[in-house]
Amino acid sequence: MENNRCYVAPDRKTVLDEKTKDLYQYHQLSVWANVQNTLEFFESSSGLGRRISWAFEGNRLTIVPHAGNGENAYYDRASKSLQLYWFESDKGTVFTCLSSDIVNHEFGHAVLDGLRPHYYESVGAQTAAFTSSSAISPPS
């Protein structure tokens, strides 16, 4: 392998790049890189300029790239995680973990929950418009 500066699959030979986007390891790397990049922005001087605190005990947000089948993705405070799903469409399997828009949207719920954990307890219309209960708990 010529390029020493790349991520590889567990076989230590397969480079994880756009050519291997169907591998689950690529999905893991993609969603991690997406969240890490956004976290770095929020914690940098361009964002909040300080570390993000979570609304739960501990310092790790778990990311589950293949949480289940369905057209869904959500942040769940109880499990300290982002749950990202997949579904079938007429164009093939769609993995929400590969959408930077979806990943960052759900990560935004986790950041907001850390900044203002009591927002999810509010019944005000403005708060409901800003965030919804479906973003913090599993689908029923």
Domain of 100? 18-135
13 part of a folded domain: no
The mean pLDDT of 123-131, rounded to a whole number, is 59
CA distance to 22, 87, 94, 126, per residue, from 90 (Å): 17, 10, 10, 37
How many CA atoms are closer than 13 Å to the CA of 9, on its beta-carbon side? 15
- Is 8 part of a structural domain of the chain? no
In this prediction, residue 61 carries a pLDDT of 95
How many domains is the chain built from?
Answer: 1
Ranges 11-20, 81-90, 127-136: which has the least confidence:
127-136
Give the model's pLDDT for residue 74: 94
The helix/strand/coil state of 125 is: helix
Angle, vertex CA 35, rays to CA 74 and CA 51, nearest 5 = 105
- Give the pLDDT band (50/70/90) at residue 120: low
In a domain, 71, yes or no: yes
Q: What is the structure's pLDDT at 130?
A: 57
